[in-house]
Chain A
Amino acid sequence: MRVLLVDDEAEFVSALAERLNLRGFEADTATSGVEALRKIDASPPDVVLLDVLMPGMSGGEVLKEIKKTHPRVQVILLTGRGSWDGIQGIREGAYDCLMKPIQIEELMQVMTDAVESGGQNQAQKGE
């Protein structure tokens, strides 16, 4: 599974990418929304793990752009706060929302579920 990890905390995404790669994922990183969109345009991943609060282009703006240009790419939001950011993101097409810090086993499960869901997100599955 190809995964793009997007967070302005470079040390966070690089360590997480190495951990996912050790487990058989193909993980790449981006430290801004603009870099993420460029990488997605060049080669769309299966899943994007996207931090909500980033300087410059916010996670919410990146999510909208991804859903507009690459609707099949699943997006999982990462937030330090949870609740509202996550609900809003899922309404706008994110598959799910995870709280920082994350558990790698949970992340792997959610990414697998996202890819297997065939484009539906948590809100649509509940309908």
Chain B
Amino acid sequence: MRDQEMAFVGKIAASLTHEIKNTYAIILESSGLLSDLLTFHQEGPFQHKEKFHQVLGTINAQVQRGVVLATRLNQFAHSMDEPLATIKVADLLELVVALMRRLARRRNVELQALAPDDREASFSSNFFRVLLVLASLVEALAEALESGGQIILQPVPDTPEVTILCEAQGAKAAGWEARLENLAASLQDFLAALNAQVAVSKAPAREGVILTLKTPAA
């Protein structure tokens, strides 16, 4: 029943984001047409031509920004489609960054992902739950880091299982390790369902958390 609920939420969200993209497409073509008319028609001087081009450029840039957001929201919505999906590691990390970057920046923490050597590397799991766990880890690390810190998501190469390091660079609040361990405990139901585990990585190793999905990489 839970999977059906998630699939329903995802279906509605995906449908709405599709409509949002249709709206953006109309705005883009309409502003593009205005821009074309200014460019193609040279009948007499038009006092505000440059200003029109400038404003149309702003509209275009903002719509493109909206399209990127709608695309990310659409991908997120589709993460709820199936209980088991083929997940590309590169796509997963990029989506987590897109969804969580703004939240991290509110704490003046930068979030980025390092692409795996093999951009096609994939595994089978529940996409939505994997996203939920990774996003929760990122949020907790952003709260643990002092202003100016950095979180880098990266696959750990040469491991038999799918292993993702969420590295936290920069000064951290005292007791951050215990907070992350508490978070991992609170995610236990999800981790068990994913056949995954979370471990805190402490100095002298690279500090952060490691998510290991006990599923072989494809």
Binding site for B on A (CB under 8 A): 9, 11-12, 15-16, 18-19, 22, 53, 80-81, 100-102, 104
Known A12-B26, A15-B26, A22-B40; judge A104-B18 contact (CB<8 A).
Answer: no
The contact size tier of chain B is: 20 to 34
**Interface assignment of B190: CB less than 8 Å from any CB of chain A:** no
13 of the cross-chain contacts (CB-CB < 8 Å) are: A9-B25, A11-B29, A12-B25, A15-B29, A80-B18, A80-B21, A80-B74, A81-B18, A81-B74, A101-B21, A101-B25, A102-B25, A104-B32
Residues of A within 8 A of B36 (CB): 18-19, 22
Mask, B114-127, CB within 8 Å of A = 1, is 00000000000000
Mask, B17-34, CB within 8 Å of A = 1, is 110011011101110110
Residues of B within 8 A of A81 (CB): 14, 18, 74, 78
B contact patch SS? helix
Set B17, B26, B32, B33: member contacting A9, Cβ < 8 A? B26
| Contact yes or no, A15 B22, CB < 8 A | no
What is the chain A residue whose CB lies nearest that of B71? A99
Residues of A within 8 A of B78 (CB): 81
